[in-house]
Structure 1
Amino acid sequence: MQPISILLLIISYFIALFILSYFVGRNEISNNDSFFKANKQSPWYLVAFGMIGSSLSGVTFISVPGKVEASQFAYFQIVLGYILGYLVIGTILLPLYYKLNLTTIYTYLKERFGNYSYKTGAWFFLISRTVGSNLRLLLVANVLQILVFDPLGIPFWVTVSATIFLIWLYTFKTGIKTIIWTDTLQTLFMLIAVGICIYVVSVDLGLNISNFSNYIAESKFSKIIFLDNVSSPRYFWKQFFAGAFIAIVMTGLDQDMMQKNLTCRSLKDAQKNMFWFTIVLTIVNFFFLIMGLLFTEYAIKNGIDAHGDNLFPILANNHLGIIVAFSFILGLIAAAYSSADSALTSLTTSFCVDILDIETKHTEREQVKIRKRVHFYFVIVSILVILFFKYGFSDKSIIDKVLKYAGFTYGPLLGLFAFGLFTKWRIKDKLSPFIAIAAVVVSLVLNSNSKTWFGFEFGFEILIVNGLLTFIGLILIRSQQN
Structure 2
Amino acid sequence: MNSATVLLFFVFAYFIGLLVIAYITSRNSDNQSFFIGNKKSKWWLVAFGMIGTSLSGVTFISVPGTVGKITGGDYLYGGFEYYMMVIGFFIGYFIVAFILLPLYYRMNLTSIYTYLGRRFNIEAHKIGSLFFIISRSIGATARLYLVVNVLQIFLLESLGVPFWVTAAVILLMVLLYTFEGGVKTIVITDTLQTSFMILSLIGCIVYILSNLNLSAGEAYTILADQQYTHLINTDINSKTYFLKTVLGGMFITIAMTGLDQEMMQKNISVDNLKNSKKNMLTFAVTLLFVNLAFLFLGGLLYLFAMENGAQYDTIVNIINGQETVSNVFGFKDAAGNINNIMGDDLFPALSLQGYFPMAISVIFIIGLISALFPSADGALTAVTSSYCVDLLTLNDDTTLTEKQKKKIRMRIHLIFTLVFFALIMIFKAINDKSIVYLIMEVAGYTYGPLLGLFAFGIFTRFQIMKKGAILAVTLIAPVLTYAINTMVTHYSDYRIGVELIIINGLLTFIGLWLIRKK
Deviates more, 1:50-59 or 1:28-37: 28-37
Tell me the residue number matched to 1:52: 51
SS in 2 for 1:69: coil
1:231 aligns with 2:237: yes
Tell me the residue number matched to 2:258: 252
Tell me the residue number matched to 2:359: 323
Distance 1:272 1:11 in 2: 35
Distance 1:129 1:210 in 2: 39
1:11 aligns with 2:47: no
Tell me the residue number matched to 2:378: 342
Deviates more, 1:394-403 or 1:303-312: 394-403
Deviates more, 1:80-89 or 1:164-173: 164-173
Distance 1:38 1:223 in 2: 43
Distance 1:135 1:151 in 2: 24
Percent identity, aligned pairs only?
A: 45
Tell me the residue number matched to 1:87: 94
Matching residue within 359, 362, 387 for 1:351: 387
C-alpha distance 65-90 of structure 1, shift in aligned 2 (>3 A): same
Tell me the residue number matched to 2:415: 377
Deviates more, 1:243-252 or 1:379-388: 379-388
User: What is the TM-score when the length of structure 1 is the normalising length?
Assistant: 0.95
1:467 aligns with 2:505: yes
Deviations 1:323-354 (A, max 9, x none): 33222211111111111011110011000000
Displacement of 1:404 after TM fit? 3.2
SS in 2 for 1:136: helix
Tell me the residue number matched to 1:423: 460
Deviates more, 1:147-156 or 1:58-67: 147-156
Displacement of 1:6 after TM fit? 1.8
Tell me the residue number matched to 2:405: 367
Tell me the residue number matched to 1:188: 195
The equivalences for 1:251-290 within 5 A come to: 251-290=257-296
1:478 aligns with 2:516: yes
Deviations 1:84-139 (A, max 9, x none): 10010000000000000000111100011111111111100001111111121112
Deviates more, 1:147-156 or 1:330-339: 147-156
Displacement of 1:401 after TM fit? 2.5
C-alpha distance 210-141 of structure 1, shift in aligned 2 (>3 A): closer
Give 1:355's aligned amino acid: L
Displacement of 1:402 after TM fit? 4.3
Give 1:39's aligned amino acid: N
Displacement of 1:400 after TM fit? 4.7
Structure 2 residues not aligned, in runs of 5+: 70-77, 311-328, 330-340
Deviations 1:125-166 (A, max 9, x none): 001111111121112111111222222222222221122122
Displacement of 1:206 after TM fit? 1.8
Matching residue within 128, 136, 139 for 2:143: 136
Give 1:478's aligned amino acid: R
Q: Is the 8 A contact 1:131 1:403 kept in 2?
A: no
Q: Is the 8 A contact 2:427 2:435 kept in 1?
A: no
Give 1:125's aligned amino acid: F
Q: Is the 8 A contact 1:62 1:312 kept in 2?
A: yes
Distance 2:305 2:397 in 1: 60
1 or 2, which has the higher strand percentage? 2
Displacement of 1:406 after TM fit? 3.9
C-alpha distance 223-398 of structure 1, shift in aligned 2 (>3 A): closer
SS in 1 for 2:237: coil
Distance 2:287 2:432 in 1: 33
Matching residue within 143, 148, 152 for 2:155: 148
1 or 2, which has the higher helix percentage? 1
C-alpha distance 400-243 of structure 1, shift in aligned 2 (>3 A): closer
Tell me the residue number matched to 2:324: none
User: What is the TM-score when the length of structure 2 is the normalising length?
Assistant: 0.88
Give 2:23's aligned amino acid: Y
Distance 1:186 1:395 in 2: 28
Q: Is the 8 A contact 1:389 1:399 kept in 2?
A: no
Deviations 1:149-197 (A, max 9, x none): 2222222222211221221111111110000000001001100110011
Q: Is the 8 A contact 2:3 2:358 kept in 1?
A: no
RMSD across aligned positions (CA): 1.7
Distance 2:437 2:363 in 1: 26
Deviations 1:58-94 (A, max 9, x none): 1221110000112110000000111110010000000
Displacement of 1:403 after TM fit? 5.2
Deviates more, 1:90-99 or 1:310-319: 310-319
Distance 1:254 1:82 in 2: 14
C-alpha distance 244-451 of structure 1, shift in aligned 2 (>3 A): same
Deviations 1:288-333 (A, max 9, x none): 0000011122223334213311221222223222233222211111
Q: Paired residues, what number?
A: 476
C-alpha distance 285-399 of structure 1, shift in aligned 2 (>3 A): closer
Give 1:257's aligned amino acid: M
Structure 1 residues not aligned, in runs of 5+: none
Q: Is the 8 A contact 1:201 1:320 kept in 2?
A: no
Tell me the residue number matched to 2:126: 119
Distance 1:312 1:273 in 2: 31
Q: Is the 8 A contact 1:411 1:463 kept in 2?
A: yes
